[in-house]
Structure 1
Amino acid sequence: MNDGLAEKARTLFAEKFGAQPEAIAFAPGRVNLIGEHVDYNDGLVLPMPIDAGTAVAWARSDDGRIHVHAADLGEGDSFEPDAPTKPGEVSWRSYVRGMAAQWDGELPALSLLITGDLPRGSGLSSSASLCIALARAFAAATGTEIDPTSLARQAQRTEHEFAGVACGIMDQMAIAAGKPEHAMLLDCRDLSYEHFAIPSDWAVLIVDSGVTRGLVDGEYNARRQQCEAAARALGVDSLRDVRMEKLVAAALPQLEARRATHVVGEIARVREAAKALQTGDLARFGTLLQEGHASLRDLFEVSHPVVDELVERLQGKVGASGGARMTGAGFGGSVVVVLPESRAAEIDGAGDGKVLRVT
């Protein structure tokens, strides 16, 4: 957490609650370098945390309730710690109450103030960042130690049960267990992971497309259901267990075949990308990003015309020395660009949208 965000959280807490917070909890956002829509298929992913994120300033209180103020929205909420009910409509309150409901143990009365510098709807996992920051605040307030995997599972259950999004666990694990300036090769089946440093001569940038990402009309959940249908037709528990040869020979219905082809191919691309990262082969890494974007656009159908145009424009600037692709669940959001450090300024000054430097 940068000093500016910490000071902002302290100041806003004092203005709202008339006292200083006891402490401030923080959780970053994340960018996924490659491995999209495969976490809920037990696949492999390669995300990394970013500097921007969510801060939760907190202090214990004595009125028997949890009071929450979302400073960036100018909205509040209040509920009893031992009886957090699910809101009627999904909003930021769903995540706060969901994490309180998932907490294993008794929560005290608290005053909480939420603020951050992570754009919502940009595909950088603002919801998982909020969940993990809240859990870290609860842990600090109760003197509880909680391992990253358990924390991530609580955040995932909140998404499922309180926000109605049947997400995988990549975002939560990348945020809870990620290491700055390192990519995490995460096996979403057993949650084992390794950290790999981003080479010093590589730059990772995020360019905002300007299209606010939304899980449009349940399309995210629909993709998961389509993948599950493909796995059932193939006689496996998940698409992680399918090889491309078996998939091609199976003659699935067209829709399920497209979805499964993306998943099986993307898992293979993640394996190759991890090798390219370890050997410093940026050209190969960039090619894999391009292939991943084409698959998300054409087979999984989760991109957006504005995002596609931005990827094409950025790829034209990077050329064969790196790669660009959509990142996140899709339907808008951001583009990740990996390129030589020596050429990063070409993107920084390109005027293609707000640029966030990761490394």
Structure 2
Amino acid sequence: MSQSSPLVEQTIAAFREAYGHEPEVVAFAPGRVNLIGDHTDYNDGFALPCALQFGTVVAAAPLADQRIIARAVDFGAEQDELRIDAPIAPLGQGHWQNHVRGIAAGLPLFGLPQRGASLAISGDVPQGNGLSSSASLGVALGLALAALAGERRPDRQVLARVAQWSEHQYVGCACGLLDQTASAFGEQGSALLLDCRSLAVEPAPFPADTTILIVPSGVARGLVDSAYNERRMQCRQAAAHFSVESLRDLDEARLMAGQDGCDATIFRRARHVVTENARTLLAAAAMARGDLAELGRLMRASHASLRDDFEVSVAAVDALVDALNAAIGEGGGARMTGGGFGGCVVAVVAADRLANVERALSAHWQQAGQPAQAHFRGIPSAGARLLRG
């Protein structure tokens, strides 16, 4: 994302129109796609996300008093105004303003500065597809407000934690740290092997002559309104049954040994997390050696586990995954990605299989009797950064 990109220019122009002057700070934070390792983050496990070229831009300038005025360019220039020298209350669930309010409330709690500000916000992360537009917004807001108050290089782990806290306390989603960490730490040309317990991040270079393909299923998803929070509670119940701090501490042998006396649904939730952690580590190693056949095998197994053990897939997504995997063969693989219940499918595809995949997608939509969904290529991109200021 450069200062000359259409999204940045649009956001700066909206700021100028709203406030009559130039912004002092322009911040960008990307969305992400998760290649493998879903529902492991809030279980202290492993994930393999990749920051994307899409994201959120926040243009900001200081105000002399203790107010934040925020304008959402993508929502008809809707505006919110709040004071930061008084308790900040959330609005009802589903309001974009809660992201602004949550970040404004969270920054000082995590030791980051803030001040009165005027903001313009715009983004181009495809909505309802599990690509973390919410995390992108939170991280971009945190970076812009901290920079405006003098902290141009905030600790990226702290920035991710502020955005997560905002999700928990103001947005209403008990998410883990995967999305926010990927948005804050993304690296050009690489995915990230993320240890969700230590928050250690290790670049996983993307294999040459390989493409990330992101295919919307046509089923929009709403994370807060889905069973995400229920799954998180079930994982806590599983950890309690196996007497571990989190499911990260459970291996497959102990899982099987403790199956007796465990509720069948709770056991399946635990089995997904335990096996998904193992798959994620193997997938990072497969990427490092360019083994697309092994990576594809792991992605297929991940989807089956999310479908059968964690029960967060839907029939339309399963059919799309099957069509893609048949076309890809051993040149990669496809799986659902994100929280589930719709959204996107992600595929890692060898360049020489792309034409075959395109044909398979056309046939899939025709057979399903649906309009073809506009799919796109994901570019492994850098994380949150200041474009001005």
Asked if TM exceeds 0.5, the reply is yes
**Runs of 4+ residues deviating >6 angstroms:** none
1:189-204 maps to which residues of 2 (within 5 A)?
A: 189-204=197-212
Letter paired with 1:231: A
CA contact 2:114–2:146 (8 Å) conserved in 1: no
Show the counterpart of 1:140: 147
CA contact 1:216–1:331 (8 Å) conserved in 2: no
Larger relative contact order (CA 8 Å, sep ≥ 6): 2
1:320 is paired with a residue whose SS is coil
RMSD: 1.6
Cα distance per residue 1:17-49 (max 9 Å; x no partner): 222222311000000000000111110110010
CA contact 1:227–1:259 (8 Å) conserved in 2: yes
Unmatched tracts of structure 1, length 5 or more: none
CA contact 1:205–1:338 (8 Å) conserved in 2: yes
1:217-232 maps to which residues of 2 (within 5 A)?
A: 217=225, 219-232=227-240
1:210 is paired with a residue whose SS is coil
1:229-244 maps to which residues of 2 (within 5 A)?
A: 229-244=237-252
Show the counterpart of 2:299: 289
Show the counterpart of 1:52: 54
2:94 is paired with a residue whose SS is coil
Q: After TM superposition, give the deviation of residue 9 of structure 1 in Å.
A: 0.9
Are 1:254 and 2:264 an aligned pair? yes
Q: After TM superposition, give the deviation of residue 5 of structure 1 in Å.
A: 1.1
Cα distance per residue 1:132-188 (max 9 Å; x no partner): 000111122111131111111111111111112111101111111111221111111
CA distance in 2 between counterparts of 1:108 and 1:278 reads: 44
Show the counterpart of 1:184: 192
Distance 1:310 1:63, change over 3 A: same
CA contact 2:93–2:172 (8 Å) conserved in 1: no
CA distance in 2 between counterparts of 1:14 and 1:117 reads: 20
Q: 1:275 aligns with which of 275, 285, 296?
A: 285
2:52 is paired with a residue whose SS is strand
2:61 is paired with a residue whose SS is strand
Q: After TM superposition, give the deviation of residue 63 of structure 1 in Å.
A: 5.1
CA contact 2:226–2:341 (8 Å) conserved in 1: no
CA distance in 2 between counterparts of 1:58 and 1:346 reads: 46
1:1-359 maps to which residues of 2 (within 5 A)?
A: 1-2=1-2, 3-62=5-64, 64-74=66-76, 75-83=78-86, 84-104=88-108, 107-144=114-151, 145-215=153-223, 217=225, 219-250=227-258, 251=260, 252-347=262-357, 350-351=361-362, 352-359=372-379
CA distance in 1 between counterparts of 2:113 and 2:148 reads: 11
CA distance in 2 between counterparts of 1:68 and 1:216 reads: 23
Query: Could you tell which deviates more after superposition, 174-183 or 98-107?
Result: 98-107
Unmatched tracts of structure 2, length 5 or more: 363-371, 380-389
Letter paired with 1:248: M
CA contact 1:32–1:47 (8 Å) conserved in 2: yes
1:166 is paired with a residue whose SS is coil
Q: Percent identity?
A: 48
CA contact 2:129–2:342 (8 Å) conserved in 1: yes
CA contact 1:181–1:358 (8 Å) conserved in 2: no
CA contact 1:348–1:355 (8 Å) conserved in 2: no
CA contact 1:28–1:175 (8 Å) conserved in 2: yes
Letter paired with 2:166: T
CA distance in 1 between counterparts of 2:217 and 2:255 reads: 34
CA distance in 1 between counterparts of 2:225 and 2:26 reads: 35
Question: What TM-score, normalized by structure 1, do the two folds share?
Answer: 0.96
CA distance in 2 between counterparts of 1:139 and 1:106 reads: 5
